[in-house]
A = this chain, B = another copy of it.
């Protein structure tokens, strides 16, 4: 994997735990396979028997669960630097699909290879555990939203969360960013209908909370949006925990 593309991962791992230079080197040495992907392309094609994890280098991705009736629930959104399919280490999940929302690239690594690294480098294992924990926290936050917030609150919450995560990844300014998903995907992420997402989006606009131009969002009244979403960004970060290195 090129030093260039690993930077994002490095940044996100370092943000979530103490990792030594040796850890970093060990990570870089791994046999990654870089893949460029188009928008809509599945990320975790399991053409061989091995399971894989990947690191999102550029672009945005989502992970969704397919229900038997054909509907879909998007359960997570991913920004560059995120691990994709970490759960594949423990469990195969045949009803999940991870796809790119935009063109981008990933670095793929076979799960067994990653596993053997982890057994030698507990601090990396710790960092990945932490990422799983943050993911779980986001899940439960979404769960609360879909279960107990109305449509406006859900959309508002998703906008808040995405804005914060983009800023953390250094990909967005203060209150203006590109929302790289269609309204249908927004609907699948919030448990709504594309039609209703459209209406809610426009009601947010008419209320003066946001501005919409194509897929660029400008948050015009952060305070009211946060209030409407009942948004508290605490769950997105986790403070580093000391681990013997």
Q: Which chain A residues have a beta carbon within 8 Å of chain B's beta carbons?
A: 65, 67-69, 71-73, 75-76, 86-87, 89-95, 115, 118-120, 122, 125-126, 128-130, 132-137, 139-144, 146-149, 190-191, 230, 232, 234-235, 237-239, 241-244
Would you mind naming 28 contact pairs between A and B with Cβ atoms under 8 Å apart?
A65-B140, A65-B143, A68-B230, A69-B230, A73-B147, A75-B140, A87-B133, A87-B136, A90-B134, A90-B238, A91-B237, A91-B239, A93-B235, A94-B234, A115-B242, A118-B126, A119-B122, A119-B242, A119-B244, A125-B129, A132-B132, A135-B136, A139-B139, A139-B140, A142-B143, A143-B146, A146-B191, A147-B190
Whether the pair B67, A144 counts as a contact (CB closer than 8 A) is yes
Whether the pair A71, B148 counts as a contact (CB closer than 8 A) is yes
The secondary-structure label for the interface of chain A is helix
Q: Which residue of B lies closest to A133 (CB)?
A: B90
Complex Cα–Cα for A142 and B232 (A): 21
